[in-house]
Chains A and B, each alone.
Chain A
């Protein structure tokens, strides 16, 4: 189930307890911290199909996080993770567009005031 190849550095791994179903998975996100961990946890927790979602930083000197997802009704845990990532992308895109529009507006207003 490991996400990374042997020669390349792993980016994403999936860890499951023995006998656990697909709905209970710990994803190991390498080279990530609270930045993605907390924002992604928020988006995943907003999903009603998710029973539990949380993350921990394994050790201060290791740059990876354990991202735990448990779903309801046997839904594979990859689905809410995928949805969370997509939702977060959509949020960012909307924030980016809004921000750039406001900056442009602000600039235009400043130029008007100059004239």
Chain B
């Protein structure tokens, strides 16, 4: 059981999940708010308290704990991950021929949403009004497919996979057409769609697609297709405190009120006693507060400055690179306004 907290500390450091609402939601640790506390900004104090723990990291998924930071800053990172880390995506679609049953505009929209493997850091934003594009701001892709009958199909077959050739158009059919010196510069980059198995259209004999696409650099704020993440979210660490020992049938019922693995019932001197094993796994459903006899025996809260981040990449950049890039975007914003402030002062 956790050490008892003073009332003031609880208001400052915990979000309380009550029966009829969530209390102490807002950050209140500003200078002047609490007598006896020094809440003035202090970088050294922050550095001492701040911690990051990696939980899981693989090709596309990242989970980590960010501890000792305010929600305002953590939320800025999350928002930047979703909307302001640039990627490359199909922006212009030149349809020379489309005799399939899927309409031009639907197909163009679908092409836009396909994640394109290309490092956006190596490209520039295209200037507004620029229709042509150059090797530094544009990737050109081509999709040229024609469906035909399969001459070797069995006579009595009715399976389209045997009857036709090229009747399924997949994202892997999008081929990269280098512009200028791109063939040399990006020789090892394998530019093209991240996933080859996205179905774009189905064709029948005689139908064809002849399309050229221009991919440009952009950000999720402008269009969701530029967002580098499938999801980027955080939650606060749940904290469950048992205010007094809970035994017997009550303990079993308490266990069922929480997500599996949160509460375990243990044998202590012949008695069945409930214990909080893993508060982190809880979904904070507050089910326990519906039980009259249990609701006053537990305290449900969340740690205000403990963020469990989860970042899932679309596969264009690894998730740990995305987080680094997001932090750099926020630094760049600050620097932009600092230099603006300096030049305003010069006038």
- Residues 1-24 of A contacting B (Cβ, < 8 Å): 1, 3, 11-12, 14
Tell whether, in the assembled complex, residue B41 and residue A87 are in contact, meaning their CB atoms are under 8 Å apart.
yes
B333 touches which one: A36, A48, A95, A103 (CB < 8 A)? Answer: A36
**Is residue B73 within 8 Å, beta carbon to beta carbon, of the partner chain?**
yes
With CB as the reference atom, state the residue of chain A lying closest to B328.
Answer: A96
With contacts A3-B340, A35-B84, A85-B337 taken as known, whether A98 is within 8 angstroms of B73 at the C-beta atoms is no
Tell whether, in the assembled complex, residue B328 and residue A42 are in contact, meaning their CB atoms are under 8 Å apart.
no
Tell whether, in the assembled complex, residue B57 and residue A32 are in contact, meaning their CB atoms are under 8 Å apart.
no
Q: Contacting chain A: which of B11-19, B62-70, B288-296?
A: B62-70
**Chain B residues within 8 Å of A82, by CB:** 338, 341
Q: Interface residue tally of chain B, by bracket?
A: 35 or more
Separation of A67 and B30 alpha carbons in the complex (Å): 18
A36 touches which one: B69, B76, B341 (CB < 8 A)? Answer: B76
0 or 1 for each of A91-115: is its CB under 8 Å from B? (1 = yes): 1111110111011011100100000
With CB as the reference atom, state the residue of chain B lying closest to A50.
Answer: B31
Tell whether, in the assembled complex, residue A39 and residue B76 are in contact, meaning their CB atoms are under 8 Å apart.
yes
Tell whether, in the assembled complex, residue B72 and residue A46 are in contact, meaning their CB atoms are under 8 Å apart.
no
Tell whether, in the assembled complex, residue B46 and residue A91 are in contact, meaning their CB atoms are under 8 Å apart.
yes
**Chain A residues within 8 Å of B75, by CB:** 34-35, 38-39
**Is residue A86 within 8 Å, beta carbon to beta carbon, of the partner chain?**
yes
Separation of A33 and B331 alpha carbons in the complex (Å): 15
**Chain B residues within 8 Å of A38, by CB:** 72, 75-76
- Residues 59-105 of A contacting B (Cβ, < 8 Å): 78, 81-82, 85-96, 98-100, 102-103, 105
Q: In the complex, what's the smallest C-beta–C-beta distance from B26 to chain A, in angstroms?
A: 11
Tell whether, in the assembled complex, residue A41 and residue B327 are in contact, meaning their CB atoms are under 8 Å apart.
no
**Chain A residues within 8 Å of B80, by CB:** 35
With contacts A36-B76, A99-B324, A106-B54 taken as known, whether A87 is within 8 angstroms of B341 at the C-beta atoms is no
Tell whether, in the assembled complex, residue B70 and residue A94 are in contact, meaning their CB atoms are under 8 Å apart.
no
Separation of A115 and B328 alpha carbons in the complex (Å): 34
Tell whether, in the assembled complex, residue A39 and residue B73 are in contact, meaning their CB atoms are under 8 Å apart.
yes
Tell whether, in the assembled complex, residue B73 and residue A99 are in contact, meaning their CB atoms are under 8 Å apart.
no
Tell whether, in the assembled complex, residue B43 and residue A90 are in contact, meaning their CB atoms are under 8 Å apart.
yes
With contacts A38-B75, A98-B50 taken as known, whether A47 is within 8 angstroms of B341 at the C-beta atoms is no
Q: In the complex, what's the smallest C-beta–C-beta distance from A94 to chain B, in angstroms?
A: 6
Tell whether, in the assembled complex, residue B341 and residue A48 are in contact, meaning their CB atoms are under 8 Å apart.
no
Tell whether, in the assembled complex, residue A45 and residue B341 are in contact, meaning their CB atoms are under 8 Å apart.
no
Most buried by B among A41, A87, A103: A103
Separation of A23 and B109 alpha carbons in the complex (Å): 50
**Is residue B286 within 8 Å, beta carbon to beta carbon, of the partner chain?**
no
With CB as the reference atom, state the residue of chain B lying closest to A95.
Answer: B327
Separation of A29 and B344 alpha carbons in the complex (Å): 13
Tell whether, in the assembled complex, residue A106 and residue B57 are in contact, meaning their CB atoms are under 8 Å apart.
yes
The residues of A with any CB-CB pair to B shorter than 8 Å are 1, 3, 11-12, 14, 29, 32-36, 38-43, 45-48, 78, 81-82, 85-96, 98-100, 102-103, 105-107, 110
Could you list 23 A-B pairs, sorted by A, with CB under 8 Å?
Answer: A3-B341, A3-B343, A12-B337, A12-B341, A12-B344, A35-B75, A35-B83, A35-B333, A39-B76, A40-B334, A42-B70, A42-B72, A81-B341, A86-B338, A87-B41, A88-B334, A94-B46, A95-B50, A96-B331, A98-B50, A99-B323, A99-B324, A102-B52
**Apart from the given pairs A12-B344, A85-B338, A94-B43, 14 other A-B contacts in the complex at a CB distance below 8 Å:** A12-B341, A35-B79, A36-B76, A36-B334, A42-B73, A46-B30, A46-B40, A82-B338, A82-B341, A85-B334, A87-B41, A87-B43, A90-B43, A93-B331
